[in-house]
Structure 1
Amino acid sequence: MPETGPDIQDIDTSRPHPARVYDWFLGGKDNYPVDEELGRRIAAIDAGSAPRTARANRAFMRRATRTLATRHGIRQFLDIGTGIPTEPNLHQIAQSAAPDARVVYVDNDPIVLAHAGALLVGTPEGVTEYVQADARDPRTILERAARVLDLGRPVALSLVALLHFVADEDGARDLVRTLVDALAPGSALVLSTMTADFEPENVGKGIAAYAAGGVTLVARSHAEVGTFFAGLGLLEPGIVPVTDWRPDEPPAGGGPVSLYGGVALKP
C-alpha cells in the first residue's frame, strides 16, 4: 500500500518538523540541524523534560497496545501520526502478543514514507501496511485503511502525541469523532496529548519555541482532553499522565510529564 517514495526535495529541511524533533528527543538519527536546534531550545527550558516526555509517551503506546491485544482481543490497529520508526514499533508490540494482528500506519511526512519499509516487516501471520495521508483528512484515511482492516470488526485507533498539533478551530474533535464513528463496537481509542496542567510556565515556553519554528502546538486541560472520549468507556485508571497509565515499572523520576493519556472502548 505505500505510495511512491518521496524525492529528497519533498523533504523540507529549512523548517523543523514535529516528527523529526521527536526523533531527536528519542536519540534518533533521522533529523536535520534545524530540528536539533529547536529540540535543544525546548530541552533547555527544563533540562531533560522533553526527551523524558517522549520516552514516556512511547512507553504508554506500548502498554496500551499490549493491553488491547492481550486483554481485549483486538487484532486490528490503526495508528495515525506514526512518526519516524523507533523500535519497538506498534506492530511489533501487537504482533508479539497476537501474531495475526493487522496494523495500518498513517502519516503525511515524506521522511516517514522514506522509512516506511522499516514499518512493514511484521509476522508472516499478520499484516502491516503504511498509508500516506494527512490526519486532517479522516475520510481518506478510513477509505485507504479499509483496504487492509475490516472496519466491521474492532479496531484500536491510536492517536498518540498527535492532537496537540491540531487546534480546536482546525477541527480536532470532529476529526476524532469521524474516525471513532466509523469503527465497530468493541473498538478502542488510544490517545495522548499535551497539557499545561502541571507546568504551565515551561509548557508555555515550549509552545512559544515551536511557534517560532512555525509549528502549532496546543495544550489542553484534563476536562478538555476528556471531551475526546465522549460516549466511550474509559479503561482504568482513566485520563492520567501517561506515566501513570498502568505502569509496568517504577517511575523514572525527574518531574512531571506534561502529557495526558487514556484508553477507551466503544460500546
Structure 2
Amino acid sequence: MTVESADSGIIAGVDPEVPHVSRVFDLMLGGTANFAADRAAAEAAFASWPGGDVRVDIRAARGALVRIVRHLAAGEGIRQFLDIGTGLPTANNTHEVARSIVPDARTVYVDKDPVVVAHSRHLLSGLPGDEVRYLQADVKDIDRILDGARAVLDFEQPVGVILFGILHFLPDDQGPAELMKRIVDAVPSGSHVAFSQFARVGEDTAMDEAFELLNRQWGESVVRRTRQEAADLYFAGLEPVEPGVVELPDWRPEPGGAGPRPMPMWCGLARKA
C-alpha cells in the first residue's frame, strides 16, 4: 500500500498503523518521520528502559557519532563514508554532518529492513546528485555490502566505516570478528572504523535481567561487552585514535556538553595504517 508519510511524502509499502523501531528512534531524536503508532509504541516499549530515559541514551549515541564524523571529515580528510546498520537518516546523520564540512562527501547507508530502506530512499530523494545512497543488506552479507559500496565509493581512497549500534546484535558465535576483518581488509590505508557497543561494566544483574526482557520483546539478542572485549573486536589490526574505547559522553566532549549520564555504551575510533 502507499500512504502519506509523516513528512507529507508518498512511500510505497509503509503502513502508518504498524510501529517500526527505526521510526521510533527517529522520534527519540526529535525527527518527524514517524506516525502516531510509533509514538504510542515508544511510550509503551521504553517505559521500563534499563537506563531510565531512553532519549538520553539515543541522543548521547548520536552526539558521539556527530563528533566522530566531524573529526573524520575535518581532522582526517575523510571524504567518503560507509555507515552500516544506520536506520532512518534522521537529524544529524552521517551524510549531513560530513557534507556540512565537505559538501561533496559521499555516503553509503546500509540497513537490512526493506521498510527502512524504502522510507530512507524517499527521505533522501531531494538530494542533488548521487553522493548519498541507501543499500538493503544484512550486516552479515559483507560481499553484498562491499559490492554495493564500491558502486558509489572509491576504495582506492580512505573510507570512514561507521558501525554504530549494530554488532552488539551479533554474539561471538555468529562471527563478528571475522566480519570486522573482512571490512578492514577491504578498505585502504588511512581508512577509519568507528563503533558503538552496549557495555558491560562490572557485575550488574539488574541490567542483565532488563536486557533479557528487552531481548524477548525485540526478538533480538543484545550482547553487552567489556571495554577489553570491545577493543579486541573493533580495533583488531588497527591503530586506536585517542581517547580509545570510552563511554559515549567521553569521546572528545565539546565544552559545556555535559548532561544526564546515559547508560554505559562504549564507542571509539581506530585507523588502518
TM interval, shorter chain, is 0.7 to 0.9
Secondary structure of 1:62's counterpart equals helix
1:8-65 CA deviation, whole Å, 9 max, x = no partner? 47x994xx865345335435535634554222232xx4432x2211101001111100
TM-score after normalising by structure 1: 0.86
Task: Provide runs of 4+ in structure 1 moved above 6 Å.
Answer: none
Match of 1:141 among 139, 145, 150: 145
Query: Per the alignment, in what secondary structure is the counterpart of residue 85 of structure 1?
Result: coil
The alpha-carbon distance between structure 1 residues 81 and 54, as it changes in their structure 2 partners (threshold 3 A), is: same
Superposed, 1:1-267 pairs within 5 Å as 7-8=13-14, 13=18, 18-28=21-31, 29=34, 32=38, 33-34=40-41, 36-42=43-49, 45-48=50-53, 50-113=54-117, 114-122=119-127, 127-197=131-201, 200-213=204-217, 214-227=219-232, 228-267=234-273
1:181-231 per-position Cα deviation (integer Å, ceiling 9, x unaligned): 100000000111110216834532331122221221110000100012011
Identity of aligned residues (%): 37
Partner-residue secondary structure (3-state), 2:46? helix
- Contact 1:41 1:209 survives alignment (8 Å): no
Q: Distance in 1 between matches of 2:20 and 2:114?
A: 11
The answer to whether the 8 A contact 2:69-2:98 is kept is yes
Select the structure with the greater relative contact order (CA < 8 A; seq sep ≥ 6).
1
| TM superposition score normalised by structure 2 | 0.84
Q: Could you list the runs of 5+ residues in structure 2 that have no partner in the other structure?
A: 1-10
Aligned residues: 256
Question: Structure 1: how far apart are the matches of 2:96 and 2:186?
Answer: 25
Does the 8 Å contact 2:200/2:227 carry over to 1? no
Q: 1: CA distance between counterparts of 2:120 and 2:105?
A: 21
Query: What SS does structure 2 have at the residue aligned with 1:264?
Result: strand
Contact 2:56 2:262 in 1 (8 A): no
RMSD: 2.5
